[in-house]
A and B are shown apart, each in its own frame.
Chain A
Amino acid sequence: MYPQDLHYTKQHEWVRLAGDIGVIGITDYAQQELGDVVYVDLPRVGTKVERGKTMGSVESVKAVSDIYSPVSGEVIEINDALATAPEKLNESPHGDGWLVKIRLSAADEIQGLLSASDYEKYVAEETGH
């Protein structure tokens, strides 16, 4: 269920790497836990983000959750479609519901992230299933 080509965090974000550019999103588990997403607050293009630090938030009907950047770097593009269609985050969390693209400043940070199978194991432990 979790794409093999993505790298995951325990805060339920993912990174899809292409050269030194990382596409960032939140996982299917995260969107399920949030419920209907109604608002996404993303950093501006050009913002420097740091691994593990808050870079925005996702709000569902019920609650608000921080988005933690899984890598350090500079935001080079944001998913504008989410401003008018935040439900894409529920419909396609690993695809159309991506959040931002970041030019990585420390490519080796990727090594510290989880593989799909490790993430799946982590989620299973978290939820006790």
Chain B
Amino acid sequence: MTPPARLQATALNSTHRRMGAKMVDFGGWDMPLQYSGILEEHRAVRSTVGLFDVSHMGEIEIHGTDAAALTDYVSTNATAKLQPGQAQYSGLLYEHGGFVDDILVHKVASDHYFLCVNASNQEKDYQHIASANRDQAAVELSSDRYSQLAIQGPRALATLQKLTAADLAAIRYYHFIDGSVSGIPARIARTGYTGEDGFEIYFAPEHSERVWNAIVDAGQEFGIKPCGLGARNTLRLEAGMALYGHEIHSTITPFEAGLHWIVKLDKPDFIGRAALARQKEQGITRKLIGFEMTGRGIGRDDYEVFLDGAPTGWVTSGGPSPALNKNIGMCYLPSERAQPGQRIQIMIRGKAVDAVTVPVPFYKRAN
């Protein structure tokens, strides 16, 4: 019951295997795809609470008096506006304006920034940031020092509150505190990738099993479900959130991906700014938009999109939406046509199937 040798494993690997998770190679990591089933796990997060091991995610820390300047120089979003204890979604770009990665920037203190980055991008991100370090900031790839768990769903707060003295209700969305969970020092952030309320916690990996089990026990009365990456993907798709390698990658800019709100052209210079300013002036040629299948079939990742009978775009992510009971997805279209209500066809295994463009997100929680 060990992972294939070529794959990396989180501290909870044997726990997942013992609990009967179906494991999958996710970008070089041996990760749980599902436990009880993607649909059941998805519904648990939408209706009560789910627990995810996302320890494959990377952490990069930037320290020192130049930490703020460096963090801001590599970020598209205005990190200077962050207060200690606040987190922000941001882009890490190349000079040409394409994504190195999408990241969460946490301001721990004015001389300490904590970045959560995608698992398979962490080395690349680290190199990118370190090579932009013109001053004296200390850049560290510290992924080995953290396990990350996501507790997501309407009962996430009630579940986690049993395990900490911190007043979780007082932590606002996209804010965090340094506290403890089950007696283990932990960074507790009110963030997530599911479209529900919830928390992501970071702590030393040697305590992983203890913290995992404590959360499973605390959530028992709410019907907590351990969840895999399958449900994580259907949840983030319904919430219209981008996934690196799909909606965004090295040749896609934030404007094309509909992420204008993470680009602050009026802040001090940052990597990719010139290219984005040019694009803003000239306009974009392609744009991300949601779609719903109207014909029978499921438009999936990388399928071709047809407009007026000609191939004009591609599906970035697609699949069934358990909450809406529809088949949904996101795709790139020529920007002038990327508006809701556009009739498109998706080439599904050699057959053109009807779909219609719709705004994202597909799902918004009630409160």
Cα-based distance from A35 to B42 in the complex (angstroms): 13
Interface presence of A61 (CB below 8 A): yes
Cα-based distance from A36 to B34 in the complex (angstroms): 10
B38 touches A36 (CB 8 A): yes
- For chain B, the count of residues having a C-beta within 8 Å of the partner chain is 18
Cα-based distance from A64 to B303 in the complex (angstroms): 12
Q: Please give, as numbers and ranges, the residues of chain B lying within 8 Å of A36 by CB-CB distance.
A: 37-40
Task: Bin chain A's interface residue count.
Answer: 10 to 19
Cα-based distance from A57 to B319 in the complex (angstroms): 15
Q: Please give, as numbers and ranges, the residues of chain A lying within 8 Å of B298 by CB-CB distance.
A: 38-39, 59, 64
Cα-based distance from A60 to B37 in the complex (angstroms): 11
Interface presence of B22 (CB below 8 A): yes
CB distance from A91 to the nearest CB of B (A): 11
Interface presence of B98 (CB below 8 A): no
B38 touches A61 (CB 8 A): yes
Count the A-B residue pairs with Cβ separation under 8 angstroms: how many?
38
Interface presence of B297 (CB below 8 A): yes
Which B residues, 264 to 320, have Cβ-Cβ distances below 8 Å to chain A? 296-298, 300, 319-320
Q: Please give, as numbers and ranges, the residues of chain B lying within 8 Å of A59 by CB-CB distance.
A: 298, 320
- Contacts A35-B230, A36-B39, A38-B320: A64 and B300 contacting too (C-beta < 8 A)? yes
Q: Which residue of A lies closest to B293 (CB)?
A: A39
Cα-based distance from A60 to B322 in the complex (angstroms): 12
Interface presence of B248 (CB below 8 A): no
A57 touches B349 (CB 8 A): yes
Cα-based distance from A59 to B300 in the complex (angstroms): 11
Q: Please give, as numbers and ranges, the residues of chain A lying within 8 Å of B230 by CB-CB distance.
A: 35, 61-62
CB distance from B23 to the nearest CB of A (A): 12
CB distance from B363 to the nearest CB of A (A): 15
A39 touches B320 (CB 8 A): yes
A61 touches B39 (CB 8 A): yes
CB distance from A61 to the nearest CB of B (A): 4
Q: Please give, as numbers and ranges, the residues of chain B lying within 8 Å of A60 by CB-CB distance.
A: 38
Residues in B lying within 8 Å of A, measured CB to CB: 22, 33-34, 37-40, 230, 234, 296-298, 300, 319-320, 322, 327, 349
